[in-house]
């Protein structure tokens, strides 16, 4: 279950109004300090929700359309609550043991530091690599489109050219050419003047033995960035293969 930004905003506002009393007298805290103030507990839970993209009902017994006062927050029935407790221990260890040991006034790691608003804190490249493995080039196209539709402009996934070209390069160098090319096509749809996309298209076509396509894309890359003179070396190699192929 994912939270939209709008839902997050509503959540922040609504928990302060509709939750009268629920944070006053916690009965089952095993990691958080027992004497935590209601305000702090409330803020911590909001941090859990917004950090992981899970609603209160993701970790606690209750339904989304139920009033929070009717939830059973004490219960440890839900799997994600138990996992979250482990996570909380981990975050405490990171902050209080590891980071304290390297700096007095260190950055505080929070749920959102890793999760960035999603339940499974995978990077875009990892999600796409799984899609490639399961469903090939179609998987890459479909997964990219749906993630971009849902998350573009949020902090959850990095849709930068750097991330996309790293994915294409890794796929191509592992021999997954259709998956790599699917990503390069996406990059060119987004920006037909992308140096990285044309350069990688050229390089991967060269590796696949398609010298015509390789030459075309490398020349375009060079036109976009005339300073990338290293491309001339590859173009010379391509000319050489053309020369060798010509009948004497
Ligand atoms: C990612 C999982 C997760 C989410 C989401 C979450 N919580 Fe919690 N909540 C926990 C865990 C874990 C504890 C127990 C912490 C401990 O053992 O110290 C807890 C404890 C509580 C308690 C104290 C219960 C008691 O009696 O001990 C309340 C109240 C609470 N949460 C309310 C909320 C509300 C309201 C929301 C939604 C804004 C929410 N939580 C979202 C994991 C979550
Ligand atoms: C250092 C990075 C990091 C931090 C900080 C972190 N998590 Fe996680 N969390 C992970 C990773 C990685 C996984 C996925 C584990 C796996 O592969 O099953 C995960 C999994 C989870 C899951 C289970 C999700 C699932 O689909 O099974 C929950 C719930 C969760 N984290 C809650 C939290 C909460 C709440 C906090 C803050 C108290 C937090 N995490 C902080 C890295 C982190």
**Domain map of the chain by residue range?**
5-115, 124-245
Three-state secondary structure call for residue 72: strand
pTM of this structure: 0.90
Q: Which fold has domain 124-245?
A: 1.25.40
Tokens of 246: 């010509």
Pocket test for ligand 1, best of 1, 22, 48, 110 (most atoms within 8 A of CB): 48
For residue 198, the tally of other CB atoms under 10 A from its CB is 25
Kindly give the distance from the C-alpha atom of residue 152 to the centroid of ligand 2, in angstroms, as a whole number: 22
Question: How far apart, in whole angstroms, are the C-alpha atoms of residue 29 and residue 32?
Answer: 6
User: Cα(191)–Cα(51) distance, rounded to whole angstroms?
Assistant: 32
Of 31, 25, 27, which is closest to residue 48 (Cα–Cα)? Answer: 31
Distance from C-alpha of 28 to C-alpha of 96, rounded to nearest angstrom: 23
Centre of ligand 2 from the C-alpha of residue 87, in Å:
6
Rounded Cα–Cα distance for residues 130 and 100 (Å): 36
- Of the candidates 171, 119, 174, the residue with the CA atom closest to the CA atom of residue 141: 171
Per-residue pLDDT of the chain (248 residues; tens, 9 = 90+): 445 555 555 555 555 554 669 999 999 999 999 999 999 999 999 999 999 999 999 999 999 999 999 999 999 999 999 999 999 999 999 999 999 999 999 999 999 999 999 999 999 999 999 999 999 999 999 999 999 999 999 999 999 999 999 999 999 999 999 999 999 999 999 999 999 999 999 999 999 999 999 999 999 999 999 999 999 999 999 999 988 887 75
Q: What is the number of the ligand closest to the CA of 119?
A: 2
Other C-beta atoms closer than 10 Å to the C-beta of 211 total 17
């Amino acid at each position: 279950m994912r939270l939209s930004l709008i839902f997050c905003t509503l959540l922040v506002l609504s928990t302060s109004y509709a939750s009268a009393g629920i944070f006053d007298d916690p009965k089952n805290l095993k990691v958080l300090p027992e004497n935590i103030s209601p305000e702090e507990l409330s803020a911590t839970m909001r941090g859990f929700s917004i950090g992981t993209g899970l609603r209160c009902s993701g970790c606690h017994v209750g339904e989304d359309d139920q009033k929070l006062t009717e939830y059973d927050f004490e219960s440890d029935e839900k799997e994600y609550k138990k996992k979250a407790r482990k996570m909380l221990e981990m975050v405490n260890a990171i902050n209080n043991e590891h980071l304290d040991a390297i700096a007095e006034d260190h950055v505080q790691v929070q749920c959102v530091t890793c999760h960035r608003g999603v339940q499974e804190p995978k990077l875009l490249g990892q999600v796409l690599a799984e899609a490639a493995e399961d469903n090939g080039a179609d998987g890459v196209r479909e997964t990219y489109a749906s993630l971009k539709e849902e998350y573009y402009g949020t902090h959850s996934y990095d849709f930068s050219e750097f991330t996309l070209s790293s994915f294409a390069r890794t796929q191509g160098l592992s021999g997954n050419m259709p998956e790599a090319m699917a990503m390069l096509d996406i990059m060119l749809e987004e920006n037909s003047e992308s140096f990285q996309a044309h350069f990688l298209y050229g390089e991967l076509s060269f590796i696949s033995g398609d010298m015509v396509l390789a030459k075309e894309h490398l020349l375009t890359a060079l036109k976009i960035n005339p300073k990338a003179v290293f491309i001339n070396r590859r173009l010379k190699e391509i000319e050489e293969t053309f020369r060798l192929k010509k009948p004497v």
